[in-house]
A and B are shown apart, each in its own frame.
Chain A
Amino acid sequence: MSDQTPPDPSQWSCPAPTQASDTVQLAHGGGGRLTQKLIESVFVPALRNPALEVLHDGALLSLPPGRIAFSTDSYVIDPIFFPGGDIGSLAVHGTVNDLAMCGARPLHLSAGFILEEGLPLADLRRIVASMGRAAAEAGVAVVTGDTKVVDRGKGDGIFINTAGIGIVPEGVEIAPTRARAGDLVLVNGEIAVHGIAILSVRQGLEFATEMVSDSASLHELVAAALDVAGSHLHVLRDPTRGGVASALNEIATAAGVSIELEERSIPVNEAVQGACELLGFDPLYVANEGKCLAIVAPSHAKAVLDAWRRHPLGKDAAIIGQVREEPRGRLVLHTRIGARRIVDMLSGEQLPRIC
């Protein structure tokens, strides 16, 4: 008889250890164990809230009374980290702002992630943490989400879609069609900052001053304007892609009015102005992520301006123009030398000029 003890299978270990990768794998989107691990270790801790933690197929929400505003946007920015933010904070700010521009108080967001195989998990953690912070600051909760992973080379690191709902309080009526002759046009600060900040890092352009994106949630500014102007606040718009010129052109067309801007009143900071001069860009067409245009009855414009100037995001707020009847559907610029010209919608993107 041998004194050898029989092998105990419960003590065996698998010679192939579980892969602990520090990058996103296809299996992270496969719905299995790795997906679950990603949700539990990355998404839930950063975005924690009761509705999300149920980890159900969807979120069940109770909403306060009022009309529901609902919006969605997809974020595909390159680079994913930039001075003043990242794709995560941008994805929260963007949808929060779209809801705020409807006059809504933003409440809940969904987040859909399309990740490219090979994205460093550290980057993903940083982005999701930044989303969590931006959501907390904006007073919204990310209540449901989804993750898919695409093969390496078939994405650009990370794409995020957020959708959101908010509640429009009784008596608030914000719509582009409400712009009427005599209304004044306000902006909460210096324009064109985000677009130039992104361009400077994307193209490796070096300027004496570092350009920092203005990406921010604007719901507090909207609330402040509604507080003092109520139904006299007619239109809100965040001039993102296409800039102030495109946003105001759209409003002029929708309302069948003309909007006249006073060039010398439009806040543009010197570094941005310099970069635009150099590249042959017009700041009116450059993207913003923390700017809000408001079209307000003349009786209440000053009150909105004062309220905005008391807020950190509105300290450089200005009245930049006025709605007029003619020429309908046109944005007109009163130039600083006293002439007038139209400011059209842009055809394609602005491209840097030759000389």
Chain B
Amino acid sequence: MRFVDEYRDGEAVRQAAAAIASMQTRPWTLMEICGGQTHSILKFGLDQLLPPALTLVHGPGCPVCVTPLERIDQAVDIAARKEVIFTSFGDMLRVPGSSKSLLQVKSEGGDVRIVYSPLDAVKLAEENPGREVVFFAVGFETTAPANAMAVWRAHELGLRNFTVLCSHVLVPPAIDAILGAPGCRIQGFLAAGHVCTVEGCEDYEPLAAKYGVPIVVTGFEPVDLMAGILACVQALERGSATVENAYKRSASRAGNPHARALVRRVFETCDRAWRGIGVIPQSGLKLRREFAALDATRRFDCGHIRTDESKECIAGEILLGHRRPPECAAFGNECAPDHPLGAPMVSAEGACAAYYAYRRSA
């Protein structure tokens, strides 16, 4: 298949692996920031081809995993209301809140629907003027433009029955928090290619300079990932700490100006709690005051919600790359995709789910 097969070519991957092995003179530890990259690495088995002295640490770039428990509980609370049609991307539905998931709400009679585009939720609101349509706007910079478009469209249409429950997060502040954390062992970063396709690469330049680490913009297919890893190892070996773009077929330095403008028109940055990690300053997006009428937390009173996180889940340490999923005592025992303790075991991009799916006794 064009645009897929050439980036999954075994020969090209093996050549890159050989180039990495021949160039590496000492152990290096890299973090791939995005959960999609983590899944690709484990799904295709790229880590099996890399030299043992190269360690890949999995980052917090899974929007489902880092959405705070409080937001999930709010979603569950709102979705259970009779007047509400609650819409969400598919992989949010299984994430456990304090007491239940959105899928459980659905089974109990809540009107919870999967949408493929936030604009589908806007359309639902137009078609159902007697119902309150709520869209769960989660994700990184990648989903922000489409979600901003939905808010903008609802605003333009003057829809009074459409709101978003917003929990957007941003990558650069998270990298800042990870590199600034005491005991950080990350020496190089693979940045998420699709995030940079939207937002460009400029925001990473001050981070590379501040912490003296190379940051390589990297794609998601095996050949893309190996190219990113190779570029990062090359930079480490020559001692350079700059931003490089190994995903030029999609990402540019300036990003997509139209998408960026729309996101800034609708959202502004705010402090945001990341599940398992805590509050990271200026790491989230919230609706600007002009669009406050479209904010679900204002439309629905959720003040009574008290969250209760599982004590056994070490998601924070997993998400920060301090520990790997198999090092968790609950992994594969108390915690499995059928009965998850934390979000990383649920999400299609969660590191624990990736290890569970692809790596048990392989």
Contact = CB atoms under 8 A, between A and B. Distances in A.
Interface of A: 203, 205, 270, 273-274, 277, 279-280, 327, 330, 332, 335-342, 344, 347-348, 351-355
Which of A336, A344, A353 has the most chain B CB atoms closer than 10 A to its own CB?
A: A353
Contacts of B93: 351
Given A270-B1, A327-B361, A337-B46, A351 B91 contact: yes
B293 interface: no
Interface string B129-168: 0000000001110110000000000000000000000000
Contacts of B103: 348
Contacts of A337: 8-10, 13-14, 44-46, 49, 222
B348 interface: yes
A335 B45 contact: yes
Listed from nearest, the 8 A-B pairs whose CB atoms lie closest are A339-B45, A351-B90, A347-B337, A352-B90, A355-B142, A353-B348, A341-B358, A337-B10
Nearest to B358: A341
User: Which of A277, A338, A354 has its CB near the most chain B CB atoms (within 10 A)?
Assistant: A354
Interface string B175-191: 00000000000000000
A187 to B, nearest CB: 19
Given A337-B46, A340-B45, A351 B94 contact: yes
Contact of B14 (A277, A335, A338): A338
B356 interface: yes
A351 B348 contact: yes
Interface of A is mostly: loop
Given A335-B44, A337-B10, A330 B361 contact: yes
A240 B139 CA distance: 33
Interface size class of B (residues with CB under 8 A): 35 or more
Given A337-B49, A338-B10, A353-B348, 15 more contacts: A203-B114, A274-B1, A280-B91, A280-B348, A335-B44, A338-B13, A339-B48, A342-B360, A344-B356, A351-B93, A354-B91, A354-B92, A354-B138, A354-B349, A355-B139
A248 to B, nearest CB: 15
A277 B36 CA distance: 12
Contacts of A274: 1, 4
Given A336-B8, A348-B338, A355 B140 contact: yes
B14 A273 contact: no
Contacts of B13: 337-338
